[in-house]
Structures are given as C-alpha cells and as structure tokens.
Amino acid sequence: MKILIATGIYPPDIGGPAQYARGVEEAWKKEGHSVKVLAFRFERRLPTGVRHLYYFLRVLFSLRGVDFVFSPDTFSAALPALLACKLFGKKIIIRTGGDFLWESYVERTGDLVLLKDFYTTSVNKFNRKERIVFALLKFLFRHVGAIIFSTAWQKDIFEKPYGLDVKKCCIVENFYGRQEHSNILKNVGMSEKVFVGGTRELHWKNLPRVEEAFKRVQEKDTSITFHLQTSDRAKFLEDIQSSYAVIIASLGDISPNTILEAISFGKPFILTRETGLYEKLKDIGVWVNPEDVNDIAEKISWLLDEKNYAEQCKKITGFTFTHSYEQIADELLEIHSKLRQYGVR
C-alpha cells in the first residue's frame, strides 16, 4: 500500500504530531508499505493562505498512486491536503491533536477559558480570523473520510460545535511506551527535587499560576525547583529521567505526551484535571484544578512527602498498559479498510 503522511512538523521538530508522524511512518514501513512524509519546509516562512496554497500544490503533485493520505493535523497541513485529495478522489484520515482554534484564541485575548467551556462561552467573541478558521474546520471535519481522536473527552467537546458525523469519529489511543524502571526511587531523600514542566510559555499552559504555586511551596521548602525545557527533545527526555516529578496544570490538554513519557520513566506526575487522560490514569496520577493556585500548591507539597512519593512511584510502576506505534498503525489501516468497504471519501 502507498501512503502519504501530510504533516506540518516532523523530527527534529518537537511536538506530539512530529513524533506521531514518524512513529506511524516507521511502523508502516516495517510492514512493507510505501510511505512518503510531506512536512513543512519553505512553507514556514510564508503567511497564512499563501502557505496553505503552496502546501496544497506539494500535496497535489505527490498523490499519484497514493492509496490514502494520513494527517496528524487539523488545520495547517490537513486543510490543503483535503482539498488536494478531493481533486484526485483520494481518501484522507486526519488525527486531532490539540485545539488550534482554542489555543489561538487564548493567546490573542489572554482569556484563560478552559477548553471544555470554550465553545459554549467564546464563539460569539471570535474575531474575523477566528470565525474563518472555525468555518474552515467545520468544512474539514465534514469532508474528511475519518477523524481520529486520542480521547473520547475531546470528541465530546468537538461533537456539537463542529456538527461531527459520529460515524466518522474513531478513538485511537495515544502512544504508551514500555516502562524503564532502573532509577525508580533514586530521588527519595535527595536534597534537590526538580519538577519538570516541559512546556512552551503560552497562556493556555497556565504557567503563571504554576509558578505562583511553586513560590508558595518554596517559602516552606527550598529543596524544590521548577524547570522548563522544550528546545531539544533528547535533553528534555534526560530532564524527565533525572527529575523528581513532572507537572502540567494547563487549561486543557488532550493527551499530553510529556505525561506519557513520565510514566515510561516511572516518574510520578501532577496533571490538570482538564484532560482526556483522566479516565485512563485516574488511579496513578495526582490531579489539580488548573484555576486554583492553592490546589496546585497543596498537591506539590503532598508529593514532596517521601511516603506519598514512594506510593505514587509504586502506582506508576504497576501501570502496565502499552500501545505501540505498530498497534496504532494497524488501527489506522483498519479504519482505512472500513472507508473502502463503505465507499467513503
């Protein structure tokens, strides 16, 4: 089978879609499929609209002989790829990651609206660009062959505002790697306790509240530090491996890879309750209300207790669920097979 992966980012770019694109590419190639990845290059320097047109042409000239297109994207790459596929009668499957529109809105306005509340409280506040993006996303979701969600939580948020056809919606869980347990409790009793945030300084990441929570805890315990590092994936993974714990208290995170990487290294984590991972990980995580600085500070203090920390480590190591890129790639092919069976385009 010949497959085209249309993605805005690809390693060495960092980010979930980049890792996802490479993961399914390698899995499909192992199975003997012919796979081509079409990632942004020159497009990055172009303005919106021109960028989409240029990428549309690149996809258009790459579709000869392609059985289907897969895009781990919902706007920048997926939209022009859809239009090219329509012209050639090709099937396209897209995977949603975050929420481009919500993220952009929060960055523009500074309005710290939770993702779950966004479409019921903020649509009437959209500017012209956001209204256009909203309309284009509705068009995209209506015309693709299938929409992949990593969590039912995001699907439920999107279903009504975008008028999703539930028959096109599929849940394919994120990548869960095998755990490495060699250094599980090495941070118990250590003098310095580093919490890794590993996130960009964006409004929806809620960093001012997290930093304020750490300041409050540091007034009583100077052993802790909060560390952000996002520029280099290899260094970031090293930081997680040597950390005391990982913390993400954003206003909404679908299935954050940073937390799944923490689990793979056996690290306890503090995570926002506003996430699609809650049902899966509710028994092994420490959960916070991202709007409540006191709650975040209390959970940090709670995890600093060595008994609590050791207990969380045990819970993490007892979590044995894995979901490989080989499994993900097979699930995507199964979805494509169903599209062929029912003649969906």
**Residue 179 has what DSSP assignment?**
P
| Whole-number Å distance between alpha carbons of 254 and 152 | 9
Spatial contact of 15 and 39, defined as CB atoms under 8 Å apart: no
Top pLDDT among 217 and 228 is at: 217
CA distances from 45 to 15, 42, 49, 54, 80 (A): 19, 6, 12, 11, 17
Q: Are 297 and 217 in contact (CB under 8 A)?
A: yes
Task: Work out the angle between the directed axes of helices 293-304 and 207-218 (0-180°, nearest 10).
Answer: 50
**CB 102 within 8 Å of CB 253:** no
- Mean pLDDT, residues 234-251: 91
Distance, in Å, from the CA atom of 224 to the CA atom of 208, rounded to the nearest integer, reads 17
Q: Which residue has the tokens 């960093």?
A: 207
Closest by CA to 339, choosing from 159, 169, 141, is 169
Q: Do domains 2-175+324-342 and 193-317 have the same CATH topology?
A: yes
Average pLDDT over residues 340-344: 60
Residue 58 clears pLDDT 50, i.e. is over it: yes
Which residues on neighbouring strands pair with residue 169, listed in sequence order?
147
Average pLDDT over the chain, rounded to an integer: 92
Q: How confident is the model at residue 176 (pLDDT cuts 50, 70, 90)?
A: very high
Q: Which residues contact 118 (CB under 8 A, 6 or more apart)?
A: 99, 102, 105, 157, 252
Beta bridge partners of 149: 171
Among the four given CATH numbers 3.40.50.2000, 3.10.20.30, 3.30.530.20, 3.40.50.2300, the one describing domain 2-175+324-342: 3.40.50.2000
- C-alpha to C-alpha distance for 275 and 251, rounded to whole angstroms: 9
Report how far residue 10's alpha carbon sits from residue 38's, in angstroms, rounded to the nearest whole number. Answer: 9
| Nearest CA among 182, 186, 192 for reference residue 218 | 192
> DSSP character for 35?
E
- Return the domain boundaries, the chain: 2-175+324-342, 193-317
Q: What value does the mean pLDDT take over residues 185-212?
A: 81
Residue among 67, 79, 7 nearest 37 (CA): 7
State residue 334 phi and psi, 5-degree precision: -65, -40
User: How far is the C-alpha of 208 from the C-alpha of 201, rounded, in Å?
Assistant: 9
Q: Which of 45-54, 140-149, 187-196, 315-324 has the lowest average pLDDT?
A: 187-196
* Spatial distance between the Cα atoms of 19 and 298, rounded to a whole number of angstroms: 33
Residue 201 has pLDDT above 90, yes or no: no
pTM: 0.91
SS3 254: coil
Q: Which residue has the higher pLDDT, 76 or 153?
A: 153
Largest CA distance in the chain: 64
Distance between CA atoms of residues 280 and 277, nearest Å: 5
193-317 to CATH, choices 3.30.1330.10, 3.30.460.10, 3.40.50.2000, 3.80.10.10: 3.40.50.2000
Q: Which carries the bigger pLDDT value, residue 278 or residue 344? A: 278
